[in-house]
C-alpha cells in the first residue's frame, strides 16, 4: 500500500457547515494534511451534532485562531508560509476583510492556491446563499417534483456537495500547475453548470425545461420511476438495445426506435407501466439487472446502506461514508474528526 496521492500537500481550511469542509475532507481522504482553522467557540457545524461534524471533518487537524485580531491573522500567515492551499467558504466581504485571498497572501507565499467558495462569486456580493436558496434561484427547484404540485428540493444538500467537489478539483488543478493563484467557485455557477443540457436546449433552441411526472427524463423514454405491484422501480432506458432486451422480458411490443419512443411518450409510458404492474420492484430489479437493463428498486437510505455495507467506514467511533475516489494501492486513513484546537495542546 502506498501513501495517498496528495501526501505532502498541506491545506488550510476556514470552512463552515458543508461545502468547504466536504471539499477538504475529500482531499484529506486522499492523503492531504488539512488544518481546520476555527474560532474559539468552534466552527458552527459542531453545534449541529457530533455525528454531523464527523461526517464532514474526519482526518483533519484543528487550530483555534481569532482571525478578527491582528494576532490571529499573523498566526494564519505563519501557517500559510508553507501551505500549498487555503480554502475558505465565508461571505465575500469577510474573505476580503480577513485577507483570505491570494492578493493578500502572495506576499508571504507566491505559490499558495487560495480557493473561495461563495454563493455568487468572490465579487458577487453578500446576498444570502444557502444551498436551498441557490437551488431555487438557478432553476433546479422548478424542475423538481410532481408537475401538478409545488416545486420541491432533493432530500440532501446537492448544491453544497457539488460545489465542494468542484472547489476541490479547482484547488488540485492549480497546485498541479505549479502556480499560485485565486480560485473562485460559487454555488450559483456550479448549479447552472449542472443544468448543462437543459440550459443548452433552451439557449440554442428555445426549449423550456418542464417538470415531468415521476422525474421523467427530458429526452429518454422510458427513463423515470414507475409504480409496480409492490414498490417503485427506477428504469433508465436510453438506446435501442436496452429497449429490445427490456421489451422482450416485460412483454411490451413496438416502439423499437429511440425517436419513436420520444414522440409517443404517453403510449410508451402506459405500456411500460402496465407491464411493470405485474411484478414487484424487487423482482423486476432481479430480472432486469442480469440482462444489463438499468433498473433499481427505490429504497430508503437504511435499506440502501444495508445492501451496500462496503461504503461504510468508521472514524473516531462514528460510522461515516467512505471516500468515493478509489485510488489503486491506497486505502484512506479514516482518522477521527479533530477535537477543537487540538494542535494547540
Is residue 204 included in any domain, yes or no?
Answer: no
Q: Considering Cα of 18, then 23, then 24, then 26, what sign does the dihedral take?
A: positive
**Shared domain check, 163 and 61:** yes
- For 181, the grid coordinates are 493563484
Q: What confidence score (pLDDT) does residue 248 get?
A: 98
**Shared domain check, 245 and 323:** no
**Shared domain check, 70 and 46:** yes
**Shared domain check, 331 and 221:** no
Cα three-residue angle 13-15-17, rounded to 5 degrees: 145
Query: Which range marks the domain in which residue 65 is found?
Result: 10-194+312-344
CATH number at residue 90: 3.40.50.10540
**Shared domain check, 137 and 54:** yes
**Alpha carbons 156 and 102: distance in angstroms, whole number:** 32
Block residue for cell numbers 467558504: 89
Calculate helix-pair angle for 50-57, 19-29, nearest 10 degrees. Answer: 50
Q: What confidence score (pLDDT) does residue 128 get?
A: 86
Is residue 150 included in any domain, yes or no?
Answer: yes
Is residue 52 included in any domain, yes or no?
Answer: yes
Q: What confidence score (pLDDT) does residue 2 get?
A: 59
CATH number at residue 241: 3.30.1540.10
Catalytic residue status for 184: no
**Tally of domains in the chain:** 2
Is residue 267 included in any domain, yes or no?
Answer: yes
Q: Residue 204, SS3?
A: helix
**Shared domain check, 150 and 18:** yes
**Residue from 294, 245, 247 nearest 271 by CA:** 247
Is residue 306 included in any domain, yes or no?
Answer: no
**Shared domain check, 164 and 240:** no
**Residue from 122, 155, 164 nearest 18 by CA:** 164
Q: What confidence score (pLDDT) does residue 293 get?
A: 97
* pTM of structure: 0.92
Q: Residue 314, SS3?
A: strand
Is residue 203 included in any domain, yes or no?
Answer: no
**Shared domain check, 217 and 186:** no
Is residue 99 included in any domain, yes or no?
Answer: yes
Whether the CB-CB separation of 49 and 57 falls below 8 Å is answered with no
**Shared domain check, 19 and 159:** yes
- From the list 29, 131, 160, 189, the catalytic residue is 160
Whether the CB-CB separation of 218 and 209 falls below 8 Å is answered with yes
Q: What confidence score (pLDDT) does residue 345 get?
A: 44
Instruction: For the chain, state the CA radius of gyration.
Output: 24
- B/e letters for 327-345, b = 16+ CB within 10 Å, e = fewer, are eeebebebebbbebbeeee
**Shared domain check, 142 and 114:** yes
* Per-residue tens of pLDDT for the chain, all 345 residues: 458 999 999 999 999 999 999 999 999 999 999 999 999 999 999 999 999 999 999 999 999 999 999 999 999 999 999 999 999 999 999 999 999 999 999 999 999 999 999 999 999 999 988 999 999 999 999 999 999 999 999 889 999 999 999 999 999 999 999 999 999 999 999 999 999 999 999 999 999 999 999 999 999 999 999 999 999 999 999 999 999 999 999 999 999 999 999 999 999 999 999 999 999 999 999 999 999 999 999 999 999 999 999 999 999 999 999 999 999 989 999 999 999 998 754
**Shared domain check, 286 and 259:** yes
**Shared domain check, 140 and 223:** no
Is residue 200 included in any domain, yes or no?
Answer: no
**Residue from 126, 157, 133, 155 nearest 17 by CA:** 157
Q: Residue 224, SS3?
A: strand
Q: What confidence score (pLDDT) does residue 343 get?
A: 78
Amino acid at each position: 500500500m502506498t501513501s495517498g496521492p496528495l501526501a505532502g500537500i498541506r491545506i488550510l481550511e476556514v470552512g463552515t457547515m458543508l461545502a468547504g469542509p466536504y471539499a477538504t475532507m475529500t482531499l484529506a481522504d486522499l492523503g492531504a494534511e488539512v488544518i481546520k482553522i476555527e474560532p474559539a467557540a468552534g466552527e458552527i457545524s459542531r453545534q449541529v451534532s457530533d455525528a454531523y461534524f464527523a461526517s464532514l471533518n474526519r482526518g483533519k487537524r484543528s487550530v483555534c485562531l481569532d482571525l478578527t485580531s491582528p494576532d490571529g491573522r499573523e498566526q494564519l500567515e505563519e501557517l500559510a508560509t508553507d501551505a500549498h492551499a487555503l480554502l475558505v467558504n465565508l461571505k465575500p466581504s469577510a474573505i476580503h476583510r480577513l485577507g483570505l485571498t491570494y492578493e493578500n497572501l502572495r506576499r508571504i507565499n507566491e505559490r499558495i492556491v487560495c480557493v473561495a467558495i461563495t454563493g455568487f462569486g468572490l465579487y458577487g456580493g453578500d446576498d444570502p446563499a444557502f444551498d436551498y436558496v441557490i437551488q431555487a434561484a438557478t432553476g433546479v427547484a422548478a424542475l423538481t417534483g410532481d408537475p401538478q404540485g409545488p416545486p420541491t428540493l432533493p432530500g440532501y444538500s446537492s448544491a453544497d456537495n457539488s460545489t465542494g467537489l468542484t472547489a476541490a478539483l479547482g484547488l488540485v488543478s492549480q497546485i498541479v500547475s505549479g502556480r499560485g493563484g485565486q480560485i473562485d467557485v460559487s454555488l450559483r455557477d456550479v448549479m447552472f453548470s449542472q443544468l448543462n443540457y437543459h440550459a443548452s436546449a433552451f439557449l440554442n433552441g428555445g426549449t423550456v425545461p418542464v417538470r415531468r411526472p415521476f422525474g421523467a427524463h427530458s429526452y429518454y423514454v422510458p427513463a423515470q420511476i414507475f409504480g409496480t405491484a409492490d414498490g417503485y422501480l427506477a428504469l433508465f432506458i436510453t438506446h435501442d438495445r436496452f429497449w429490445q432486451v427490456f421489451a422482450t422480458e416485460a412483454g411490451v411490443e413496438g416502439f423499437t426506435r429511440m425517436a419513436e419512443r420520444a414522440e409517443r411518450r404517453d403510449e410508451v409510458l402506459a405500456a411500460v407501466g402496465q407491464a411493470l404492474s405485474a411484478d414487484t420492484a424487487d423482482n423486476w430489479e432481479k430480472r432486469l439487472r442480469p440482462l444489463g437493463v438499468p433498473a433499481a428498486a427505490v429504497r430508503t437510505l437504511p435499506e440502501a446502506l444495508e445492501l451496500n455495507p462496503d461504503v461504510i467506514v468508521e472514524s473516531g467511533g462514528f460510522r461515516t461514508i467512505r471516500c468515493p475516489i478509489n485510488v489503486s494501492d491506497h486505502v484512506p486513513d479514516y482518522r477521527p474528526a479533530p477535537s477543537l484546537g487540538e494542535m494547540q495542546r
